[in-house]
Structure 1
Amino acid sequence: MTTVAETAPTTTGAALFAASRAELAAALTTVGMAVSPRPAVPVLAGVLLESDGTDLMVRGYDFETAVSVRLEGAAVAPGRLLVNHAELSKLLKALVKGLSKREADRARVRVRAEDAASATVEVAGTTVPLELLPLEDYPDLPAEPPLLARADRTHLAGECQRVLRACGSDDTLPMLAGVKLDPGPDGLTLATTDRYRIAVGHVGAHVEEERIPADGVLAPGRLVGRVLAKLDADQVRIGHAAEGLTEVVSLAAGAVTVVMRTIPAEFPAYSRFLPHSAAATVVADRAALLAQITRAAAVLEAKGHRANPVMVTVADGAVTAAPQLAEGTDRVRTPALEADVTGIDEPLCVGLGPRFVVDALESFTGQTVTLHLQAPTKPVLLTDTPKGISDPTAFRHLLMPIRLS
């Protein structure tokens, strides 16, 4: 795999860089995504400070993820130091105790190499020693792979957060912990599933069509969400490369570049589970329906019936949500919510997991939400509008039903 180039060794006694405490602390927090607090290899607890004489690169790597943050104009002299990430992060907090937040953030941080085994860090006039880790033991970091697509950061981050609500966390099924990225000529489709629900979103993007992988890209879902939250430039560069058994995907914007290994597993063929038509369609006020389902979920919690579903009943011109209790369900009364209902001749009731349906409704932002129903034992699809069921660029959230007793 291509690796980042090395810079010259650090000159003993020379300051490697000078940066504000706030920007260095922020860089260390971002790089911390790739630094294990208890690594199997001791040097992986380190953060690599790499200077070309102009800019400072702050890097972390854990063999799965490599994070680099560029601090422009922060370098004083070319060189490389490997320091303990946790120690430097804690010292940046300790050395500004007693200062106001404004003074602490603006304080200058200088790191100097004293000899081959030690360095010093100076903040607000105080200098303390800083232990160095052996550079020769630190692994080569992967370089940013070739460009696959460019997308608007705000749109990509927002759509990713929507689909991540359905991302799994079962360690025995690693493919369910991923977000599937399917690039196409019209943009990028994102999908997640935990077996009980499927969320699919779409982002307009400029895609390098000749580089589209046949099976898409399966990236670590939660990590992608955390990375996108750290990016602050308008555009995100999405890179991808597959060399032998190693496949990586990258997200880069502004000063931050993250290269991560993909998940080596086959993601479910989610598109075959998404319906393109429905027997019944319900358009309801999203906030009102969410409030009623939230109350029903709270009743189930209070009664100790956490595993029970919420019953969503659709009738002519109305929808209701009520908890299914162990006993006395027939005595539960909830107000009917006005809805635009089509395709129903008699009441239809479907059971849904309380947490899942709340997650689904919260992932939408419009005033109304559309439920597409087939039968009590068939999945329920949620979209923004009735036409969303047949629109491949629309956000869709599919919920598996719970059989009602």
Structure 2
Amino acid sequence: MAEVHGGCADSHAGGGFPAVLRSVDDYPELPESPATVGGVDRGKLCDAVARVAVAAGRDDTLPMLTGVSIEFHPGFLRLVSTDRFRIAIHELEWDPVGISGPASVLVPARALAETSKALSGPRIEISGGPGQTVLGLTTGDQRHTMRTLDMPYAPYQRYLESTHTATALINTAALVDAIKRVSLLSPRSAQVQLTFATASARLSAGGGNEGSAKEIIGCEFDGEPLTIAFNPRYLLEGLAAARAEVVEIAMNGPTGAATVRAADRESDGERRDGLIYVLMPVRLPH
């Protein structure tokens, strides 16, 4: 038996759990979605968000780096995230409405990732733009809004046009397995070194009293032999986000930023569109 006074209660034999009801007028007004700026395939947008969000920062004292920058271009959407140690960039086609030049909004990565998982239907309408405090995503009967971050985003454009002095094509699964094995002997998983030669990549980690590990896998390498080191977790996350059978690692010496991207090609020989993952190397030990 349940007894209610100004609220509701759920009861079971021998006990009750009262809950106080509040007036519906106390519920805050939901923000209105701004004007629609375009539409995009839901699956492609959700895929891009999942792949880019991996590089977003998790330090709330640097809120700018916890977001995903969504850039609206007349011909494509670009999603960008960075935590200062890596940058994830993904472009996809969309159907803009009234977009004549580049514009962007910065959205919390966690909110965007969770919202994209909750959406259903074949197509997403995007509402928002510069100066707006809200980004809206609408599909079918669902409408989601999220607050934007009102702050400038970290400059990254120079990494899109950087030249590289060496490139390696490597089977992704073989590289992932080798990193996981070798990094077991990396102190605090600090770094894994990759030494590239004409047809091989040697992975090594550890040393000193902790022991060491080395493994050699095949690759196609173009450039002067070099040794470069990466944080193994960051490299593994980039390889997973690339979602490719073969990846291309483009480098500019042992201290310059490296670019990881899919090397897979379409049937006509064109590179398959996908993620560009820029990763800063770790300083090599002396």
Q: Which TM-score band applies after superposition, normalised by the shorter structure?
A: 0.7 to 0.9
Aligned residue type for 1:398: V
2:164 corresponds in structure 1 to 278
Shift of 1:221: 0.7
Root-mean-square deviation (CA, aligned residues, Å) is 2.8
CA distance in 2, matches of 1:242, 1:313: 45
CA distance in 2, matches of 1:191, 1:349: 28
Local SS of the residue matching 1:225: helix
**Aligned ranges 1:112-261 → 2 under 5 Å:** 117-118=6-7, 131-210=20-99, 215-240=103-128, 247-261=133-147
**Larger relative CO (CA 8 A, sep 6+): 1 or 2?**
2
Deviations 1:168-224 (A, max 9, x none): 011111010100001112221000000000000012111124376x54110111110
Aligned residue type for 1:306: R
Between the aligned residues of both structures, percent identity stands at: 27
1:299 corresponds in structure 2 to 185
Q: Judging changes above 3 Å, is the alpha-carbon distance between structure 1 residues 314 and 297 closer, same or farther for their aligned structure 2 residues? A: same
Q: Judging changes above 3 Å, is the alpha-carbon distance between structure 1 residues 249 and 374 closer, same or farther for their aligned structure 2 residues? A: same
**Aligned ranges 1:348-367 → 2 under 5 Å:** 348-367=226-245
Report the TM-score, using the length of structure 1 for normalisation.
Answer: 0.62
Q: Does residue 257 of structure 2 align to residue 402 of structure 1?
A: no
2:200 to 302, 308, 318: 318
1:23 corresponds in structure 2 to none
Aligned residues: 273
1:25 corresponds in structure 2 to none
Deviations 1:335-384 (A, max 9, x none): x211111122xx31101001100111111222100000110111110011
Report the TM-score, using the length of structure 2 for normalisation.
Answer: 0.86
2:217 to 337, 359, 364: 337
Q: Is the 8 A contact 2:36 2:127 kept in 1?
A: yes
Q: Is the 8 A contact 1:148 1:211 kept in 2?
A: no
CA distance in 2, matches of 1:120, 1:308: 54
Gaps of 5+ in 2: 11-16, 266-270
CA distance in 2, matches of 1:276, 1:318: 25
Shift of 1:277: 2.6
**Aligned ranges 1:12-31 → 2 under 5 Å:** none
2:14 corresponds in structure 1 to none
Deviations 1:75-99 (A, max 9, x none): xxxxxxxxxxxxxxxxxxxxxxxxx
Shift of 1:308: 2.5
Q: Judging changes above 3 Å, is the alpha-carbon distance between structure 1 residues 272 and 386 closer, same or farther for their aligned structure 2 residues? A: farther
CA distance in 2, matches of 1:277, 1:394: 19
Q: Is the 8 A contact 1:242 1:248 kept in 2?
A: no
